[in-house]
Amino acid sequence: MPKLKREGREERATDFVESLDRGLRLLQGFAASREPMTLSDLARSAELPRATARRILFTLERGGYVASDGKLFTLTPHILTLAASYLRSSQLATVLQPVLDRVATGAQEISSLAVLDRDEVVFIARASPTRVFSGGIDIGYRLPAFCTSVGRAMLGQFGDDELANRLRAMPRQAMTPQTVTDPDRVLASIIRDRAQGYSLVDREAEPHFRSISVPVRRYDNVIIAAINIGAHVDRISTKEMIERFLPLLREGAGSVRSQLL
């Protein structure tokens, strides 16, 4: 019987639950469109047979995660309970939220917390000096890691050879005219950022927007997240980001290291 190694322990290949894997793939398939989707659309998006997709959708509908008018399918608000479970159980979000509040107040700008998820960054907490979010990055928002300041701050945890391989393998689509997509240039930027302890990305991820980030390290110095401050290029210069925002971010990230396990 073949075995799989996961997290330092051996598991039999039969421990893999294919039906659960297919259900998760189908849920992710809803991201392919902002409109209600047909059974065929979802089956195609999840790369599943129609009959399999139909059974999964029926199960999800019974559980309250999916709604249907008989032809089109949509996710229901109940699906957010899955994300809420992560946020409520996340030590990072709990420990870092007061830090984000303090940083946002000191900078008078929105501050965010992100984690690395394969080739992307996911924002899991944020704070505003006014506690009113007028726009920008929301919790759960995703961006490519290679062209964001939080992504580059976290990618610095990998050795040069592994990092070079990851960059060449990941999609590197230009997000703006300023996006650097050449893997060698991105690698050089991340190595430089690692040495200086912060990353500043100027209009590469979003037009007219620049961001500065520092890595968040746990008690043993391992990078597990990044916090940032972003602002419109017309309001904040790169010089001001480094001189005024960087000390706030460094103090905030350093203040919680002993609390993160």
Task: Read off the pLDDT band of 6 (50, 70, 90).
Answer: very low
* Tokens matching residue 115: 């984690």
Q: CA-CA distance, 38 to 109, in Å (whole number)?
A: 42
* Tokens matching residue 206: 């979003």
The domains located in the chain, with CATH, are 3-79 (1.10.10.10), 90-259 (3.30.450.40)
Relative orientation angle of helices 18-29 and 50-62, to the nearest 10 degrees: 80
Q: Range with the lowest mean pLDDT among 127-131, 143-147, 173-177, 222-226?
A: 127-131
Q: CA-CA distance, 222 to 252, in Å (whole number)?
A: 16
Sheet of strand 66-68: strand arrangement: 37-38, 72-75, 66-68
* Tokens matching residue 37: 């989707």
Q: Are 25 and 46 in contact (CB under 8 A)?
A: yes
Q: CA-CA distance, 141 to 151, in Å (whole number)?
A: 13
The whole-number pLDDT of residue 65 equals 93
Q: CA-CA distance, 117 to 28, in Å (whole number)?
A: 15
Q: Are 121 and 114 in contact (CB under 8 A)?
A: yes
The whole-number pLDDT of residue 5 equals 47
Residue 202: phi and psi, rounded to 5, are: -115, 100
DSSP 205-242: SSTTEEEEEEEEE-TTS-EEEEEEEEEETTT--HHHII
The whole-number pLDDT of residue 12 equals 58
Only one residue has tokens 């051996």, namely 10
Q: Are 195 and 175 in contact (CB under 8 A)?
A: no
The whole-number pLDDT of residue 88 equals 75
Task: Read off the pLDDT band of 1 (50, 70, 90).
Answer: very low
Q: CA-CA distance, 185 to 130, in Å (whole number)?
A: 38
Burial zone of 206 (CB within 10 Å; 0-12 exposed, 13-18 middle, 19+ buried): buried
Q: CA-CA distance, 178 to 68, in Å (whole number)?
A: 42
Q: What is the pLDDT of residues 29-83, one digit of tens each?
A: 998 888 999 999 999 999 999 999 999 999 999 999 999 998 999 999 998 888 7
Q: How far apart are the first and last CA of the chain?
A: 36
Q: What is the pLDDT of residues 108-157, one digit of tens each?
A: 999 999 999 999 999 999 999 875 544 456 788 899 999 999 999 999 99
pTM above 0.95, yes or no: no
